[in-house]
Amino acid sequence: MRTGPITNRRSESKTCFENDTLPLSFRCSLFSQGQGFEPESTFTLLDMFIHPTGFTLFHIVLFTKNTYLESMKTNPVFCFIGMLFMSNPALFSQTADESVILDAYLRVRQLTPAVWMHTHAFPWPANGLIVQMEDSSLILIDTPYTPEATELLVQWIENRWGVPPVLAVNTHFHVDNLGGNAFLLKRKIPVWGSDAINGLLKTRGRTARETTLNFLRAMHADSLYFHKHARMPYMPPDHTFPLEEGHFFIFGSDTCRIAWPGSGHSPDNVVVWFPQKKVLFGGCLILSGSRIGNTADADLDSWPVSVKKLKIFPAAVIVPGHGAPAGPELIDHTLELLDEARNLEP
Ligand SMILES: [Zn+2]
């Protein structure tokens, strides 16, 4: 395994937000070139969470496409029809994105030359990142919901790059960030997270699981999800850093910085900043689409204060925990949604 020269050093908490002086970029070039997610896809994905019909159709389409692609490998007739289909630009434009579908629930999409986004819809689409650093080391930010999907993702990474991630990061204590830890720890992939995660799993882990199960009950979700979420192992990271200090990983001249801007979606939500790449993983602190999602562990008063601090990062791409990535405008979008939510409070 090529691990590269990793140096871990702790930061002063203030440096997490006061080191970046480069001018803000107000437009994500990736999206202006039409290569990113279309903004509408946010609403489609999030609506699937709410509407069982859309949700079911989404999985039927994914399953059908996956099965067909598998059939093309073994059946020449399917292969011929598939090639005809793909050679038609009008039809192919529906599927000719950078997505790689790993199974009916898990896909990976390239956002920039060195950054891929993994999205696990189990059942609510949740994002994480695979980031290639300057020395080719790979970092995994957040895991899919389950150990099985995380294993599939790591297998795909190993097939594509020949090595597994050198480390993984959990951005808070919920299952959409660390549901795959059991697999990563079994594979001896170091998992990093704040020292608050373990305590929160102990004090709120059971309630967080119950919240997930209640959402599934409310949407009459497939028993597959219920069964998996009811038994999902919630394992904390095996490498921790003090929440308020954040953490650095340095690979040559390429940096991965973890910072805690304050409470918001949860008390322990951190963001991950890649300054050389101008990519910010906002996790569940940053909102895309039209809903603020699960607020069971949220602090609605502190959330906007924490989000405003993220403006210090001159990000070209901001990736939310759920929904479509975009440019720095996602910060103001998040603030608007939070403002609406606070106004609706009794
Ligand atoms: Zn969460």
Higher local confidence (pLDDT), 23 or 119: 119
Higher local confidence (pLDDT), 280 or 74: 280
Residue 111: is its pLDDT beyond 70? Answer: yes
What is the predicted pLDDT for the residue at 71? 55
Least confident range from 39-53, 77-91, 109-123, 285-299: namely 39-53
What is the predicted pLDDT for the residue at 95? 35
Highest mean pLDDT out of 48-57, 85-94, 234-243: 234-243
Which residues, including other chains, have CB under 8 Å from residue 78's CB and lie 6 or more apart? 68, 71, 72
Taking all residues of the chain, what is their mean pLDDT, rounded to a whole number? Answer: 79
Residue 59: is its pLDDT beyond 80? Answer: no
284 CA to centre of ligand 1 in angstroms: 6
For residue range 126-146, list pLDDT tens digits in order: 999 999 999 999 999 999 999
322 CA to centre of ligand 1 in angstroms: 10
Q: How confident is the model at residue 74 (pLDDT cuts 50, 70, 90)?
A: low
Residue 26: is its pLDDT beyond 70? Answer: no
269 CA to centre of ligand 1 in angstroms: 8
What is the predicted pLDDT for the residue at 277? 98
197 CA to centre of ligand 1 in angstroms: 12
Residue 308's Cα: distance from chain center in Å?
21
168 CA to centre of ligand 1 in angstroms: 17
Higher local confidence (pLDDT), 185 or 30: 185
Residue 287: is its pLDDT beyond 80? Answer: yes
Q: How confident is the model at residue 77 (pLDDT cuts 50, 70, 90)?
A: low
Residue 292: is its pLDDT beyond 60? Answer: yes
What is the predicted pLDDT for the residue at 344? 77
Structure tokens at 97: 């994105």
Q: How confident is the model at residue 343 (pLDDT cuts 50, 70, 90)?
A: confident
258 CA to centre of ligand 1 in angstroms: 17
Q: What is the mean pLDDT of residues 308-332?
A: 98
52 CA to centre of ligand 1 in angstroms: 22
Domains parsed from the chain with CATH numbers: 6-344 (3.60.15.10)
Residue 43: is its pLDDT beyond 50? Answer: no
Residue 1: is its pLDDT beyond 80? Answer: no
287 CA to centre of ligand 1 in angstroms: 11
Structure tokens at 288: 């895309």
339 CA to centre of ligand 1 in angstroms: 19
124 CA to centre of ligand 1 in angstroms: 12
> Do the Cβ atoms of 318 and 328 come closer than 8 Å?
yes
What is the predicted pLDDT for the residue at 7? 39
What is the predicted pLDDT for the residue at 82? 43
What is the predicted pLDDT for the residue at 280? 98
Least confident range from 78-87, 159-168, 212-221, 288-297: namely 78-87
321 CA to centre of ligand 1 in angstroms: 8
What is the predicted pLDDT for the residue at 236? 97
What is the predicted pLDDT for the residue at 221? 86
Higher local confidence (pLDDT), 25 or 50: 50
Residue 31: is its pLDDT beyond 70? Answer: no
Sheet holding 6-9: strands in order across? 6-9, 247-251, 254-259, 271-274, 279-283, 317-320
Percent of the chain with pLDDT over 70: 71
Structure tokens at 18: 């006061």
| DSSP per position, 294-345 | --TT--TTHHHHHHHHGGGS--SEEEESSS--BSTHHHHHHHHHHHHHHHH-
Q: How far apart are CA 6 and CA 166, in angstroms?
A: 9
pTM score, whole prediction: 0.74
Place of tokens 């795959």: 180
